[in-house]
Each structure stands twice: as structure tokens, then as C-alpha cells.
């Protein structure tokens, strides 16, 4: 491992070793989790920083209306991650259990079926976004300038939805095969390509929000090309060896495999879709708050995204390690991984929250144009402080989902997210828009968004029912020696 990789890995590892020293988690599992989680966390930081850079560059050049416009288009772009993330949720469950059981003969079928499914599901969305961007964004915003920015962004970025979905599938194939490092290299590389392209398109060429969207599309195409070469050849130039080599020529349409992907992935996609759908009424109600609140919320959510990156790593580490243990029939070990990762994740989130709170003011300053409404900056700072508290519960929620996803028990996490958003967060934002509660309602909405799923997901994990559900999708052991 390179010196740079060690520098990125060590902060996560030190937290795990400190917890092991005090007997909170097992030392060996702490090291395994850190090794699998840190590349995914770095990927998350890179990609969320890319999203933040989009907003920062657009805001610096065009001001608060452009920030709001990109924010309004955000829920529609989120469909890419709902679609791709749903299929990828099924992918990692199938791949991790087959990899753990050494049922290599079934790996190729799972990967090819996932590829076909994500393309078929995403193409109709591309068509709708290209032809009806103004009509779509007008559903949640009435400001002409913001609608214009949002429509420009949506029409172009929509072209990247299939590539974003394939990007997620490729990443989950590698993580499920115990290689988060290569997945990190590819996806983080794509994020850095995006930032560089944005600088050229937005600032250098003056293409504004359309330039930001084009950078997103091209960077996803770059990552998908790298995954495609690496997974089909076993290695990719600049990224080294891949843990699997899948023949692209073979069966893509297998009823049983597609049924498993749909059954497991639909609740995962629906869970991802909860926040995407929730953004529509959320942004609509925020339009009734004082001037600058909508732009401040968009800024705070970009920083929230960076704070949430530990969940990317710990959730997938829990899925992969628990899934591999389940594939071997070791249910007690799968539960032990889950419990240790929940504790590890929660403490890491606490560290992230403290650091973010300390640097909240300069972080917000990066996004705010001097011409923005005066209230934008203080509102954004206060929202970040509220997010720091709410994020403590996200550590429990996100890592509890990992073993559930690996087992195929994906419905309860979806319902918990649905209840947190539509039973708590959105009603609170609405109440704040029509009562003197005002900005305090948004603080409470952040809390509801994380506390409700944390309580339900941990309850489900603690019940142990997910272990029984996993038996329905475990590979046949007599296929263990087969090779695709």
C-alpha cells in the first residue's frame, strides 16, 4: 500500500484500534473493517466534495439564484442514485455471498444481469429529462431565473443517469469481492476528473450550470469505462488488478437472478428514492421561508453530504463482511461484524461532527457570493450546527443497514427512511413555513431524518430476523468450485 494510501487509512484505523484497546470492538474485525471502509469513505469525500465544488463554482460565478437552481435540479438527478443504488444493492448482496462461498460460477451472471437491469430502467428517465426539464423543475419552483438555471442543468446531467447507475454497480461488484481500494481509485479518480472539468467548463469557458452538468456526465463515463475494462479483463491501466474477471459474453437475461436483483434492490432503490422524492416538497416549502434560506439549505446539504461519507464506508463494509460470513453459513460471525461496525461507525461520525462544527464558518464562506442575500451565510452556518448533532444518529442508522442489505432484508430500512422523512422531517419543514417556529423547524427536521431510521434499523438488526432471511439467497455450495 502506498504512503498516500496509509495517510488516508490511518485516521480510520486509529479510531478502530482505540476502540479495540478499550474492549469496545474486536481488534481483528476493527482492522478488517478499516481496510474495507476507508477507501469507500475517501471515495465519498471525493464525490461529495465534487458536488460541493459544483455549487461553490456556480455560486462564485453566478450567485445565489444559480445555487438554488442546481439545488432544485438535485432531486431529479437523485433518481440516478435511486435507480443505480437499488440495482447495486442487489448486486452487492449476490456478489458478496457468492464470493464468500467461492461460488465463482454465479458471479458473472449476477454482474451481467445487474448491468442490463440498470440500463433498461434508466434510459426512459433520460428521455423525460431531455424533453421536459422546464416542466419538471417548475413543479417545485416558481422563480423564473432559478427555473432557467435548473432546466439547463437537468437537461444535460440527465444524459449521465445510465453511467451513474453503472458506476455504482461496478463499485459494488468490487466491494462485494473484498476490494474497496480499487473501487475507490476508480470513483475518486472520476470525482477529481469532474472537478477539473468543472473548473474548465464553468470558470474557463463560462458555460455556467450547463458546464457543471457536462462535467458530471463525462466524469461518470470515465469511471464506467475503467470499471468495464477492469472487470472484463481482470485489470485496468492505471488501476492495477481487479479481484474478479467476468466474461462479458454470456447470459444477461436470467429470470431467477433478475428476480433476486429486483426483490432485493427495489427496497434499496426505494430507500434512496425517499430522500429524492422528499426534496420536492422540502424545496417547495423552503421557498416560503425568508430570503436566502433555500440557498443556505442547499449549501448545508452539500456539507452534510461530506459529513455523511463515513456511512458510505461502514455501510458497505458491513454488507461485504457480513455477507461473506452469511455465504459461509457463519451467522454468529455476521452478527459480530455488524455490532462492531455499528460502534465503530458511531464514534467516527462523532469525530466528523466535531471537526465540521469547528470549521463551519470558513466552510460556508467558500460557497457564498458577496451578492447573495445577507441572511444566507448565518442561516447556512446554523443549519450545519444542527446537522452535526443529527449526524451522530446517522452513524447508527447507516451501519445497521449493512447486514440487513447483505441478507436481502431491505424492506425495513426503506420503511424507516420513509417514516423519518415523510412522517417527521417534511411535516416539520412545512410547520416552520406557516408558523413562527421558522428556522427551528428545519433543525428539528434534520433530527427526525436521522433519529427515526436509527431507532428502527437498529431494532431490526438486533432482532436477528435478517439472518433467517439470508438463507433464501445463499448460493448452492455444490457450485463452489466452478469458475465463470
Q: Which CA distances in Å does 345 have to 73, 206, 332, 393?
A: 31, 41, 20, 10
Place of cell 485496468: 236
Write out the DSSP string of 9-49: HHHHHHHHHHHHHTTSS-HHHHHHHHHHHHHHHHHHHHHHH
Looking at 132-207, list the stretches that DSSP marks H as alpha helix, in order from N- to C-terminal side: 133-137, 144-157, 161-176, 180-198
How does pLDDT run across 101-132, given as a tens digit for each residue?
666 667 777 888 888 888 888 888 889 889 99
Nearest CA to 350 out of 391, 320, 382 is that of 391
Q: What span, in angstroms and rounded, lies between the C-alpha atoms of 360 and 300? A: 10
How does pLDDT run across 329-338, given as a tens digit for each residue?
888 898 999 9
Q: What span, in angstroms and rounded, lies between the C-alpha atoms of 235 and 242? A: 5
Position with higher pLDDT, 434 vs 279: 434
Which of 117-126, 129-138, 308-317, 474-483 shows the lowest per-residue confidence on average (mean pLDDT)?
Answer: 474-483
- Per cent of the chain over pLDDT 70 is 91
Using a cut of 0.85, tell me whether the model's pTM lies above it.
no
Task: Of 220-229, 290-299, 312-321, give the range with the top mean pLDDT.
Answer: 220-229
pLDDT band at 192 (very low <50, low <70, confident <90, very high): confident
Q: Which CA distances in Å does 371 have to 69, 290, 362, 363, 366?
A: 16, 16, 17, 18, 14
pLDDT at 6 over 70: no
Q: What per-residue confidence (pLDDT) applies to 385?
A: 95
How does pLDDT run across 62-88, given as a tens digit for each residue?
777 777 777 778 778 777 667 777 777
Q: What span, in angstroms and rounded, lies between the C-alpha atoms of 329 and 295? A: 50
Q: What phi-psi label fits residue 68: left (phi over 0), alpha (psi between -120 and 50 degrees) or beta?
A: alpha
- The sign of the torsion formed by the CA atoms of 301, 306, 310, 312 equals positive
Length of the chain: 484
- The sign of the torsion formed by the CA atoms of 63, 64, 69, 74 equals positive
How does pLDDT run across 242-254, given as a tens digit for each residue?
887 788 877 777 7
pLDDT at 340 over 50: yes
Which residue ranges make up each domain of the chain?
11-474
Q: What per-residue confidence (pLDDT) applies to 480?
A: 36
Overall average pLDDT of the 267-284 stretch = 77
Here the cell at position 334 is 455476521
Amino acid at each position: 500500500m502506498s504512503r498516500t494510501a496509509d495517510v488516508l487509512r490511518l485516521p480510520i484505523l486509529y479510531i478502530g484500534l482505540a476502540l479495540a484497546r478499550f474492549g469496545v470492538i474486536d481488534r481483528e474485525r476493527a482492522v478488517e473493517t478499516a481496510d474495507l471502509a476507508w477507501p469507500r469513505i475517501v471515495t465519498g469525500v471525493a464525490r461529495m466534495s465534487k458536488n460541493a465544488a459544483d455549487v461553490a463554482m456556480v455560486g462564485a460565478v453566478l450567485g445565489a439564484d444559480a445555487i438554488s437552481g442546481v439545488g432544485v435540479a438535485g432531486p431529479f438527478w437523485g433518481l440516478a442514485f435511486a435507480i443505480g443504488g437499488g440495482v447495486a444493492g442487489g448486486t452487492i448482496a449476490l456478489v458478496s455471498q457468492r464470493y464468500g462461498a467461492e461460488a465463482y460460477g454465479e458471479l458473472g451472471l449476477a454482474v451481467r444481469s445487474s448491468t442490463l437491469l440498470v440500463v433498461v430502467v434508466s434510459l426512459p428517465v433520460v428521455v423525460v429529462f431531455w424533453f421536459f426539464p422546464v416542466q419538471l423543475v417548475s413543479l417545485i419552483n416558481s422563480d423564473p431565473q432559478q427555473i432557467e438555471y435548473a432546466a439547463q442543468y437537468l437537461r444535460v446531467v440527465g444524459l449521465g443517469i445510465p453511467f451513474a447507475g453503472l458506476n455504482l454497480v461496478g463499485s459494488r461488484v468490487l466491494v462485494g469481492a473484498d476490494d474497496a481500494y480499487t473501487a475507490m481509485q476508480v470513483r475518486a479518480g472520476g470525482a477529481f476528473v469532474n472537478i477539473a472539468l468543472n473548473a474548465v467548463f464553468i470558470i474557463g469557458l463560462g458555460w455556467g450550470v450547463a458546464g457543471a452538468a457536462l462535467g458530471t456526465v463525462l466524469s461518470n463515463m470515465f469511471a464506467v469505462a475503467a470499471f468495464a475494462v477492469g472487470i472484463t479483463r481482470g485489470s485496468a491501466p492505471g488501476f492495477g488488478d481487479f479481484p474478479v474477471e467476468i466474461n462479458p459474453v454470456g447470459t444477461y437475461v436470467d429470470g431467477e437472478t433478475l428476480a433476486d436483483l429486483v426483490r432485493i434492490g427495489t427496497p434499496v432503490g426505494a430507500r434512496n428514492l425517499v430522500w429524492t422524492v422528499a426534496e420536492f416538497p422540502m424545496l417547495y416549502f423552503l421557498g416560503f421561508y425568508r430570503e436566502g434560506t433555500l440557498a443556505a439549505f442547499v449549501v448545508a446539504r452539500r456539507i452534510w453530504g461530506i459529513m455523511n461519507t463515513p456511512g458510505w464506508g461502514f455501510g458497505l463494509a458491513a454488507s461485504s463482511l457480513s455477507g461473506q460470513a452469511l455465504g459461509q453459513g457463519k451467522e454468529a460471525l455476521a452478527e459480530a461484524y455488524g455490532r462492531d461496525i455499528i460502534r465503530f461507525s458511531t464514534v467516527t461520525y462523532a469525530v466528523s461532527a466535531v471537526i465540521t462544527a469547528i470549521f463551519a464558518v470558513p466552510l460556508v464562506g467558500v460557497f457564498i457570493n458577496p451578492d447573495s442575500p445577507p441572511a444566507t451565510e448565518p442561516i447556512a452556518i446554523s443549519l450545519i450546527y444542527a446537522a452535526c448533532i443529527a449526524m451522530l444518529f446517522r452513524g447508527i442508522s447507516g451501519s445497521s443497514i449493512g447486514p440487513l442489505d447483505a441478507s436481502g432484508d431491505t424492506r425495513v430500512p426503506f420503511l424507516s427512511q420513509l417514516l423519518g422523512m415523510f412522517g417527521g422531517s417534511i411535516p416539520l419543514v412545512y410547520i416552520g413555513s406557516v408558523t413562527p417556529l421558522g428556522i427551528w423547524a428545519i433543525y428539528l427536521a434534520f433530527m427526525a431524518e436521522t433519529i427515526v431510521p436509527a431507532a428502527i434499523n437498529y431494532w431490526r438488526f438486533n432482532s436477528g430476523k435478517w439472518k433467517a432471511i439470508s438463507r433464501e439467497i445463499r448460493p448452492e455450495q455444490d457450485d463452489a468450485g466452478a469458475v465463470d
